[in-house]
Structure 1
Amino acid sequence: MARSAWTVWGLAAGFYLVALFHRMSLGVASLDAQERFDLGPGTIATLSALQLGLYLAMTIPAGLAADRIGPRRALAIGLVLMGAGEIAFGLATSAPLALGGRALVGVGDAFMFLSVLRIAQSWFPAHRYALLASLTGMAGAIGQIGTTVPLGLSLEGAGWTATFAGTGVLTALFALACLRWVRDRPGAAAATPPAHDAVLATLRAAWARPATRLAFWTHFGLMGPFVAITALWGYPYLVTSQDVAPGTARIWLAVCVASFGLSAPALGWAVGRARGLRRPLLTAVAGGTLALWTATLLWPAGGPPAALILATLVATGVSGAASMLAFDLAREGNPAAVGGSATGLANTGGFTMAVATQLIAGRLLDTGWGDGIPSALLPMLALMGLALVMSLRLGRRAARVPVAGGAVAARAEGVPTPA
């Protein structure tokens, strides 16, 4: 049983690794995309925001689809859609086809993460959920590392079409492996999907709980900067605003992603052993990352030192890893009947922030406001600060709200409750 559980989850997490490669591939390819499609930075930001926006819009429907058809089929659908989208993006020579390709990537991507978490929830005991969520995040980080130096080398060597169309074909073929070897749960028991007329009521019930809103704002403030920087703005910020060589910029972004991958399992393990660490740890990571980005973006003329930029990128990676704990907050602070919906709502937080940052920064760059990308990223600081304030407010409220069975959300912070 244990070996089967790890095998099934490992395959599913591997498909999420592929999804992160596709989701974040525009980050290093953004300057190439501007040249290939003759587009300005604002339009490229719209291209990225469209993909992330569709991911955001489809997150909850995709989670409900996983309830109805099972995560195995949901993963296969996501792989096919991402593969088709990446093929179209690789073959595109004009903006409309490129937009269509990235749109398909965003829709397919939405089916992946929550399906992997659903498999973890079905195959493993509850006390391992935080660790499995963090390990899933680590798998995604490994896929994202592929979008830094390896993707840059492939674009330089094999070219645009071979790189993107080739990975698209391979991704579509992975759907066959998913259908062959992944199983929704141990044994042959089928999931019981929620009634159609109960879906909206379930979502409303989940959002009404402070723990769900706490998880949303936690994910908003911690994952948002990581996605905004690594999916689009980090590479052009380093190359065009800080005069970092392209190869070095890719390495620095790889360091950011690697810090995510290395810290995710460590944070999950630590919180699994000492639940009382979770809230102070999340607050410290959010506050520290905000402080570093504030210093980096507001540094006087001449630009921040390389050490500060690298420290900020490392903190951003740790921030993204810490956001995985938001799903543990949502799961533990809700009755089982709305736990899946609460997790889906939490997952929209960081991508809402990332889409807002991308669109606002792109608009500011198009209007010529400020001194380029550093000024265009200043609204990100306000969004991070808002998330920190909301998390502090909701954290106290969530600890007082009872959960089904007489337990309270404070149990998630290590407070014992009667059996």
Structure 2
Amino acid sequence: MNSKRSWFVFGVAALAYIAAVLQRSSLGVSGVSAADRYYTSAAILSTLAVVQLIVYAALQIPNGILIDRVGPKLLIVVGTAVMVVGQLTLAFSTDIGIAVIGRVLVGAGDSAIFISVIRLVNSWFSGRIVPQLSQWMGNLGAIGQILSAVPFAIVLHEAGWSAAFTSAASVALLAFILSLLVLGDRPPSVTAPEQPTLGVVLKRLGPTLRRPGTQLGFWSHFVTQSSGTVFALFWGFPFMVSALGYSTTLASGLLVVIVVVGLVSGPILGLLTARFPTRRSNLVLGIVAMLGVVWTAVLVWPGTPPLWLVVLLVVAMGAGGPGSLIGFDFARTFNPPHTLGSANGVVNVGGFTASFVMLFLIGVILDALHNVGFSASLYDVGAFKLAFAVQYVVIGLGVLFLVRARRRARAQLEEDEGISVAPLWVALSAAWSRKRP
């Protein structure tokens, strides 16, 4: 555990995740080009991202079961191969139907990667470094978003659609080769556990789903990850370029800001999660509150919001990605190791479920407003503001379920381990009283 070989495995796993994020987010800077290539409505265009996320979310629990059954290496190898096929299909498609098939394959391959690399972190490392490495894995994966926002976008606008998506597929191909050659399910010194039958793994899924800690992880991921995913994966680029009038260079740069903020805030959140494990949900709710305040300022601003406010928005969304990884720490601490793959799969469904719901609804609302004559342009800033407001409904419901799951998780913690978690204001008041002379 925590050996040099462990770090080598971590590096290759991070490369696989970087490749997955690149394939996933490559559509984010292609929204305007996709509209020109396929010439269809906003709702139909959004299906390119929606079906990808639906497939991704739908396969999380089956992939988690497979991880517990056959190990993470096989899923990473197969997942990277499927992403290569999906991106090449999209690269040479000229019909929206074929493009959708390509994104389905990308979503299917991508769905196996993150929960598999998180399982590798838990298998190859131990101790308090594990939550920090989980944060680092998420942050390093965000480099894939930088690759899509800068070099991919340059290739797209200079060399064209096919060249850009083929180049993205080549990164997944490299990850496939290295994963096949280097990765292992566990350190050689660790005895492989007896491989459970599929029936046993399926039988374990029910208790995993019913654990309040698993549900708390699901809703934590649901409310923190979705806003930034919707913005970076598809609607942010059309909003900035077509509605706000930004250049493609500036829009790509702002997408990079999301990643940079994640790289900075991720280790901080990892340290806070390890230092204050009973206050992890407060970190989640704090991030959601910050996002709510900044989004409200953008949406109620008369006319076009100023650049500084849009910068604040992408900074706030940058903290949402690392914040969503706290959900996996809930899964880790509330579930036994032999069910961790399934638990991580359940948690990872959360944010992507919220994302594909909002992605699709935003497209539908934009089309509806355009059809009733709300605006002459499909991508009007006023129409975007109304469409983005759907986040309040989706994430608001998620917060209600999160608070309910937290109450049940704390009750279980007190019953099982005798640990009582007081409300934050009570704990802060007690700490202040102890420090007073």
Could you state the TM-score of these two structures normalised by the residue count of structure 1? 0.93
Question: Which amino acid is 1:228 matched to?
Answer: V
2:339 maps to which residue?
A: 338
Contact 1:228-1:357 at 8 Å conserved across structures: yes
1:310 maps to which residue?
A: 311
Q: How does 1:184-203 map to 2 (within 5 A)?
A: 184-187=185-188, 189-203=191-205
- Displacement, 1:271? 2.1
- Structure-2 change in CA distance of 1:10 and 1:29 (3 Å): same
Question: Which amino acid is 2:155 matched to?
Answer: S
C-alpha distance in structure 2 between counterparts of 1:67 and 1:280, whole Å:
30
2:434 maps to which residue?
A: none
1:67 maps to which residue?
A: 68
- Displacement, 1:343? 1.7
C-alpha distance in structure 1 between counterparts of 2:158 and 2:242, whole Å:
23
2:394 maps to which residue?
A: 383
Contact 1:20-1:140 at 8 Å conserved across structures: yes
Contact 1:89-1:98 at 8 Å conserved across structures: yes
Gaps of 5+ in 1: none
C-alpha distance in structure 1 between counterparts of 2:418 and 2:339, whole Å:
16
1:355 maps to which residue?
A: 356
1:407 to 410, 417, 423: 417
1:241 maps to which residue?
A: 243
2:300 maps to which residue?
A: 298
Greater Cα shift, 285-294 or 12-21: 285-294
- Structure-2 change in CA distance of 1:271 and 1:255 (3 Å): same
Could you state the TM-score of these two structures normalised by the residue count of structure 2? 0.89
1:205 maps to which residue?
A: 207
2:45 maps to which residue?
A: 44
Question: Which amino acid is 1:49 matched to?
Answer: V
Say whether residues 1:177 and 2:178 are aligned partners.
yes
SS at match of 1:26: coil
1:231 to 216, 230, 233: 233
C-alpha distance in structure 1 between counterparts of 2:419 and 2:251, whole Å:
43
SS at match of 1:187: coil
| Superposed CA offset, 1:47-88 (max 9, x none) | 110011101111111222222322112111011000111111
- Displacement, 1:409? 7.5
Q: How does 1:24-103 map to 2 (within 5 A)?
A: 24-103=25-104
| Superposed CA offset, 1:323-342 (max 9, x none) | 11110012212334433322
SS at match of 1:147: helix
SS at match of 1:368: helix
- Displacement, 1:184? 1.1
Structure with max Cα Rg: 2
Q: Percent same amino acid at aligned positions?
A: 33
- Displacement, 1:137? 0.6
C-alpha distance in structure 1 between counterparts of 2:110 and 2:82, whole Å:
8
- Displacement, 1:102? 0.8
SS at match of 1:27: coil
Question: Which amino acid is 2:20 matched to?
Answer: A
- Structure-2 change in CA distance of 1:267 and 1:170 (3 Å): closer
1:120 maps to which residue?
A: 121
C-alpha distance in structure 2 between counterparts of 1:319 and 1:389, whole Å:
18
Question: Which amino acid is 1:395 matched to?
Answer: R
Contact 1:51-1:105 at 8 Å conserved across structures: yes
1:279 to 278, 281, 284: 281
- Displacement, 1:355? 0.4
Question: Which amino acid is 2:8 matched to?
Answer: T
- Structure-2 change in CA distance of 1:228 and 1:59 (3 Å): same
Greater Cα shift, 194-203 or 78-87: 194-203
2:17 maps to which residue?
A: 16
Contact 1:84-1:169 at 8 Å conserved across structures: no
C-alpha distance in structure 2 between counterparts of 1:240 and 1:408, whole Å:
56
| Superposed CA offset, 1:166-207 (max 9, x none) | 331442343222111111111174354433223443222112
- Structure-2 change in CA distance of 1:276 and 1:69 (3 Å): closer
Gaps of 5+ in 2: 375-381, 428-437
1:217 maps to which residue?
A: 219
Contact 1:16-1:140 at 8 Å conserved across structures: yes
SS at match of 2:166: helix
- Displacement, 1:390? 2.3
C-alpha distance in structure 2 between counterparts of 1:385 and 1:77, whole Å:
36
The count of corresponding residues between Structure 1 and Structure 2 is 412
Contact 2:15-2:175 at 8 Å conserved across structures: no
Q: How does 1:127-142 map to 2 (within 5 A)?
A: 127-142=128-143
- Displacement, 1:286? 1.1
C-alpha distance in structure 2 between counterparts of 1:44 and 1:66, whole Å:
33
- Structure-2 change in CA distance of 1:402 and 1:89 (3 Å): same
Contact 2:26-2:152 at 8 Å conserved across structures: yes
Question: Which amino acid is 2:60 matched to?
Answer: T
C-alpha distance in structure 2 between counterparts of 1:408 and 1:234, whole Å:
46
Question: Which amino acid is 1:310 matched to?
Answer: V
Cα-Cα RMSD: 2.2
Contact 2:31-2:234 at 8 Å conserved across structures: yes
- Structure-2 change in CA distance of 1:105 and 1:410 (3 Å): farther
SS at match of 1:304: coil
- Displacement, 1:277? 4.3
1:288 maps to which residue?
A: 290
SS at match of 1:186: coil
Question: Which amino acid is 1:268 matched to?
Answer: G
| Superposed CA offset, 1:357-413 (max 9, x none) | 011111112222663222111111221222223222322221120499x436869x9
Say whether residues 1:268 and 2:279 are aligned partners.
no
